[in-house]
Structure 1
């Protein structure tokens, strides 16, 4: 266990998504919580339950550590295959219960939506410092609102206004990248947003620095519309011998399976669904290139995992992906929505000489090294203590 130079703290994480949910925000919170436990801190997590019922706080094994979980009664979002939420008008009630029991030194919310919103308001009333990390874009939820265009515009405006009110109650607001911080500062009335990488444990991934004999394209993430996985399939259909491995699940899976049939590549596309961490790491190690066409990434843990596995990356030139991919160095960027460009950039990687391919692999490993989880933990510990971060 790393030496602790400051007293251990009691930290309460407020998460609107958490294990067994599989998305960037949940994965970050899991790794952060486990890392803090390894450093000797007492970590509690408030997150939705898998049904509308009360349960007593209990230990759950997450990322190899026992976390004190406070599962709150929740309901499934209509039209979504897994997302659950606490009724908004009950969030402060549950926040009071959890805060009474935990008595944390600091509260770290992972969103401003429901659980985080309630915890921020109650913690502030009690004089408990609140740190907020923003992983979300209100626009990402529009596919599930079932509202007309004018209703979606009002929804987004109201969501960001509520985010502003919540962030105003915090000691610090963070987000995974500088680009994501700039986006947040442009979108709402907030300043001084601190970019802190979600971080990954580089030691968990294996890079095989060798030429590839097969053209394996891999994507990891939710199969939802904002990920634009259909563009990856359309590009793969134009590349002779290319296969695609999709790791993850979501509401677009059936549509993507149908698209693969229509494109005549169903036998070249593997839908793995949810896999274990070991299976994920194996799939990344054997792949040739990681492809991501998403236009809504505030960082992309999946892309960092691919880089830590020594993969070149072909990514949409959107939001935070250019923060990870240097065009022509560890892969390529392409204009969002341009399948022709995506196809060409994938070919550039798959047809690269062995020397050029290895250069891209080594560049991915070098560029992702700054995102090691140790730096992330150090920075959040400093924020929890109220220390001033270096400029």
Structure 2
């Protein structure tokens, strides 16, 4: 778990805006060189009763953790290919993520998740999801639907159309070859939240 995942920011936001609530736990899935710092910060912020550390998880077991959760939270500063966003959507998780170009086209604010820019924004949107079960369920359904555009079939279809377009627009008289610009397909830590039923 690299530092760029920015989990310390999420912990600080939780401390200041959600620590008074007793209806959720914050699960940090995975491990890495940065995890000791996160554990230390968790203790300093007195969040030990709110945070669960899973440790290293085998890739084939990750889905189990998604299925335990209600919300996927991410404050990553720079994702280049954030598969976790797609995995969370495919598992029907509402996402609450820090604004980042990497999630353009993945997270649709208010539809399959929320995008936050600061602590107040995070607090409002998180509390909305924790307080409104029907909203969270509906957005989770939307998340699952929206994940289909990232399926292998959808990817295959986009690649086919790209090649078709290149071939149709190929100009053999162009001495520099084909000039073609593709749109970047942006897909983009693993932090999950579980609402506790009373």
Class of the TM-score when normalised by the shorter of the 2 chains: 0.7 to 0.9
User: Is 1:235–1:343's contact at 8 Å kept on the other side of the alignment?
Assistant: yes
Partner of 2:108: 326
Alpha-carbon distance in 1 for matches of 2:168, 2:76: 32
Unaligned runs of 5+ in 1: 1-222
2:147 corresponds to:
368
TM-fit CA distance, 1:224: 1.8
| 1:228–1:294 contact (8 Å) kept in structure 2 | yes
Deviation (angstroms), 1:227? 1.3
With the length of structure 1 as denominator, give the TM-score of the two structures.
0.39
Distance 1:339 1:373, change over 3 A: same
Cα deviation for residue 389 of structure 1 reads 8.2
Partner of 2:37: 255
Cα distance in 2 for partners of 1:266, 1:366 equals 35
| Distance in 2 separating the partners of 1:312 and 1:355 | 12
The answer for unaligned runs of 5 or more in structure 2 is 170-181, 183-198
The secondary structure found in structure 2 opposite 1:347 is helix
Is the CA contact 1:284–1:306 (under 8 Å) kept in the aligned structure 2? yes
Q: d(CA) in 2 for partners of 1:269 and 1:315?
A: 18
Aligned counterpart, 2:131: 351
Moved over 3 A (4+): 377-391
The higher relative CO (CA closer than 8 Å, separation ≥ 6) is in: 2
Question: Displacement of 1:229 after TM fit?
Answer: 0.7
8 Å contact 1:231–1:293 — kept in the other structure? yes
| 1:289 aligned partner | 71
- Where in structure 2 are the equivalents of 1:55-74 lying within 5 Å? none
Q: Which residue of 1 aligns with 2:174?
A: none
Would the alpha carbon gap of residues 233 and 388 (structure 1) be closer, same or farther in structure 2, given more than 3 Å must change? farther
Q: Provide the secondary structure at the position in 1 that maps to 2:167.
A: coil
Tell me if the contact between 2:148 and 2:154 (Cα under 8 Å) persists in the aligned partners: no
TM-score normalised over the length of structure 2: 0.73
- Distance in 1 separating the partners of 2:135 and 2:96: 15
Pair 1:230 & 2:8 matched: yes
Q: Closer, same or farther in 2 for the Cα pair 1:251/1:327, shift >3 Å? A: same
Contact 2:149 2:155 in 1 (8 A): no
Show CA shifts across 1:137-169 (max 9, x none): xxxxxxxxxxxxxxxxxxxxxxxxxxxxxxxxx
C-alpha separation between the residues in 2 aligned to 1:361 and 1:389? 40
Change (3 A) 1:327 1:386: closer
What are the superposed Cα offsets for residues 296-347 of structure 1, whole Å, 9 maximum, x if unpaired? 1234210111111111100111112132111111121111xx2332222211
Give CA deviations for 1:163-192 in whole Å, capped at 9, x if unaligned: xxxxxxxxxxxxxxxxxxxxxxxxxxxxxx
Could you tell me how far apart the structure 1 residues matched to 2:148 and 2:112 are?
A: 13
CA contact (8 A) 1:295 1:319 kept: no
Counterpart position of 1:268: 50
Higher Rg:
1
C-alpha displacement of 1:279: 2.5
CA deviation profile, 1:113-141 (whole Å, cap 9, x unmatched): xxxxxxxxxxxxxxxxxxxxxxxxxxxxx
Distance 1:323 1:389 in 2: 27
Contact 1:288 1:350 survives alignment (8 Å): no
